[in-house]
Amino acid sequence: MKDFLAISDFSAQEIQSMLDLAVALKAERAAGGNPPLLKGKVLAMIFQKPSLRTRVSFDMAMRHLGGDALYLSPNEIGLGKRESIADIARVMSGYVDALMARVFDHQHVVDLARWSTIPVINGLSDYNHPCQGMADVLTIQEKFGTLKGLNVCFVGDGNNVAVSLLHACALLGANFTLASPEGYDFKPQALEIGRKLAAQSGSQIRLLRDPHEAVRGAQVIYTDTWTSMGQEEEARQRELVFPPYQVNARLVAEADKDVIVMHCLPAHRNQELTDEVADGPHSVIFQQAHNRMHAQKAILARLLNVA
């Protein structure tokens, strides 16, 4: 396990093993603290996009495990502009023990991994968000015990968050439905990978337009912002297209009685998700946010060969 760029790079057994480790590390932390598994290790964090959860969860994950984290802002690096990605990767490989990069272009994180001799973690790209996906399935597992046979419904844009959730669900045997307006579906490559993984696990993938049809029988409803960073020019058009896909009390009532509602945050409240739902009894959005740290501890421990 050299890098963590996509959930689809791993087998179901490998993903489940990391989830099991995350569960153990979370329990250990709650019981008094984690041992210094990463003592003497340093994670460099390269950010092209701002972040609350990604920055703080990785920083605290390293601290809890006895290591250190180094934040590098967009202006300090100029990834692929001020200096080539190949040169940055090779320079950083001599300074730190692992790299996490939060980028606009997925190819940038791929190139970092190609040229680095240290592990590279995808902290988000325009294609996928595997660290978020791991926190998502950890949260679902905590609620239901397993993903096998569950019905997971993503309501909204088939974006990077949806891609990682699709691949994680397909690997672990959950049925996945995307309810999206026309023109906002999965990219063909991401869908093809999902279908291959689903064929192996026996799960099903559905692509629907009607969110009300999509959530029937769902144990999980997931939504995300209608306009992601880098899509600001599309914001007005998206605000016209997505209102029928709002996750509100009426929509939640049409799902399974024990449904959980998820959002990767930050949320535009009363746009894609109403306050009533976000702060209601079905919401797990803050448990999900906290699980970013625990899932990432497991990823770091495995990449750095300490657990």
Strand partners, 42: 68
**Which residue of the set 97, 264, 288, 294 is catalytic?**
264
Q: Helices 106-115 and 85-92 meet at what angle, rounded to 10?
A: 50
Q: Which of 48, 132, 141, 246 is catalytic?
A: 132
Task: State yes or no: is 264 an active-site residue.
Answer: yes
143: part of which helix (H) or strand (E)? helix 130-144
The reply to whether 153 belongs to the active site is no
Rounded distance between C-alpha atoms, residue 190 and residue 213, angstroms: 23
CB atoms within 10 A of CB 50: 11
Dihedrals phi, psi of 101, to nearest 5 degrees = -125, 130
Tokens standing for 240? 């016209």
Q: Could you confirm whether 132 is annotated as catalytic?
A: yes
Task: Please identify which of the residues 53, 102, 238, 282 carries the catalytic annotation.
Answer: 102
224 is catalytic: yes
Q: Are strands 120-124 and 98-102 parallel, antiparallel or unpaired?
A: parallel
- The dihedral of CA 192, 144, 179, 102: what is its sign? negative
* 236 assigned to active site: no
| CA–CA distances in Å: residue 240 to residues 51, 211, 221, 244, 271 | 27, 16, 22, 9, 11
Which of these is catalytic: 224, 238, 294, 296?
A: 224
The catalytic position among 238, 282, 292, 294 is: 292
Active site annotation includes 238 = no
Query: Which residues are part of the catalytic machinery?
Result: 102, 129, 132, 224, 264, 292
